[in-house]
Structure 1
Amino acid sequence: MLKNYIFDLGGVLLDIRMKNAYERFVALSLSPAELEQGSSVYKLMEDYQLGFVTTAEFCQQVASKCAASSNTRCAASPTTPHDIELAWNSICLGVADRKLEALRRLRKAEGVASVSLLSNTNALHWKCCCKNWFNANGNRIEDFFDKIFLSQELHLQKPDPEIFNTAIRELGATPAETIFLDDSPVNTAAAAACGLQTLTVTPDVDWINALGI
């Protein structure tokens, strides 16, 4: 019997469009090559997600790289850290009310011990989600989750098995009685290898219906 439910954020609860930030960074004069895996900007994004650089450092460093790459922007209009924050947060589209209500129902359901969040995210995206959805319109983050596991706080990220093991330990849960929902098959496979039940959420899989909430 399932007693513990662990949700990913982006692609499961939060609707996202990763390409938004890519397009905005290019518009701010970063070349596409500077955004590819293995580039210094990509490495900076990973370090930010793991909490190894602060928000101020992340925004300032990306803004500096935009300025260094710019051949067209005038000196009177340099890229600012605020520009970077806006571009970065453009990824976050919204959390549907029906998903928030489903989380509320799940937490109250008989036999459910915990409902948690486990996400590869970063301080800016998490702040945006709390401000606009989880702690907005009368909502409180405590309404939805018993525990929150964030990559930037744990300095761990999926699919590292240790992030799943950490969650199980802190919840005091039995893996076989725990389900993890994520939009990445790589991440759900890693969770399954740790003994958790899993559900891979795709555009064709509505987790609310799949869980019967």
Structure 2
Amino acid sequence: MVKNIIFDFGDIFVNLDKPVILREMEKYKCLDALPQLESLNSKYEIGLISSEEFIAGLHKLIPQATPEQLTDSWNAMLLDFPDHRLGFIEGLANEGKYRLFLLSNTNALHIPHVAQKMGLEKFERFKNCFEQFYLSHEIQLRKPHLDIYKFVLENNGLKPEETFFVDDTKANTEAAESLGIKTWNLLVGQEDVVQLLSKLP
């Protein structure tokens, strides 16, 4: 029986435009720097470099854009947070049937931007739905590495077979499954997190 539910954040609650930075690189003819961008982002998402170092690194890859333009482009991938999803997670939290956790690969620029776009009051309402709000850049662990799932399980006394994980990235759900966690690989644009209860085993 499922007692614990772990949620991803991007494209589960907040809508994303993930290719926006790729369009910037294409615009400035910098697509050959994509491997360096992925490496830079990996370091940034686990807090190994600061926001200033990340933007400086991005500027080296896309020198035609200013640091300010790059910051705006980086945050432009964060779109809206639909109210029906906030209402859903608040309702689930108020029922008290499940222990709820958030586990997100994210960075120090994106979270304040989401809070600003949502409004601080709504963001705090969202955050308060979860027993723990785990952000990769704060815990210095990143999906799909197994250590991040073990960290959440061990730190909260969760049994894998009683835990359900929702994420839009197949590699992330497959990693969780390898530890015995039940999963839902949500198909963005076809499914919505509000359908959760129909997906539970």
Does the pair score TM above 0.5?
yes
CA drift of 1:200 comes to 1.1
1:168 equivalent in structure 2: 153
Asked whether the equivalents of residues 49 and 152 of structure 1 are also in contact (C-alpha less than 8 Å), the reply is yes
Confirm whether residue 45 of structure 1 aligns to residue 46 of structure 2.
no
How far apart, CA to CA, are the structure 1 residues paired with 2:154 and 2:123? 32
Sort the Cα spacing of 1:155 and 1:134 in 2 relative to 1 into closer, same or farther, 3 A. farther
State the partner residue of 2:81. Answer: 95
Contact between 2:89 and 2:126, CA under 8 Å: does it hold in 1? no
Q: Is residue 53 of structure 2 the alignment partner of residue 57 of structure 1?
A: yes
How far did residue 138 of structure 1 move?
7.6
Of 112, 127, 131, the residue aligned with 2:112 is: 127
Distance 1:22 1:167, change over 3 A: same
Which whole-Å CA distance do the structure 1 matches of 2:69 and 2:53 have between them? 14
Partner of 2:31: 32
Which of the two has higher C-alpha Rg?
A: 1
Q: How many residues align?
A: 198
Tell me if structure 1 keeps the 8 A contact 2:46–2:139.
yes
Q: Which residue of 2 aligns with 1:151?
A: 136
The alpha carbon displacement at 1:201 in A equals: 0.4
Residue aligned with 2:158, SS: coil
SS at match of 1:156: coil
Q: Is the 8 A contact 2:141 2:148 kept in 1?
A: yes
Contact 1:50 1:151 in 2 (8 A): yes
Q: Following the alignment from structure 2 to structure 1, what is the Cα–Cα distance between the partners of residues 196 and 57?
A: 42
Q: Is there any run of 5+ residues in structure 2 with no aligned partner, and where?
A: none
CA contact (8 A) 2:173 2:185 kept: yes
User: Please, what is the CA RMSD of the aligned residues?
Assistant: 2.1
Match of 1:204 in 2: 190
**Residue identity opposite 2:54 in structure 1:** F
TM-score by length of structure 2 reads 0.88
Aligned-partner Cα distance in 2 for 1:190–1:21: 26
1:110, CA displacement in angstroms?
A: 4.2
Q: Cα offset for 1:41?
A: 2.7
User: For each residue in 1:131-178, what CA deviation from the matched residue of structure 2 results, as whole angstroms up to 9, or x when unmatched?
Assistant: 222734584344322201222122221111110110111222222111
Deviations 1:104-131 (A, max 9, x none): 011112422x211111111111222222
SS of residue in 1 equivalent to 2:134:
strand
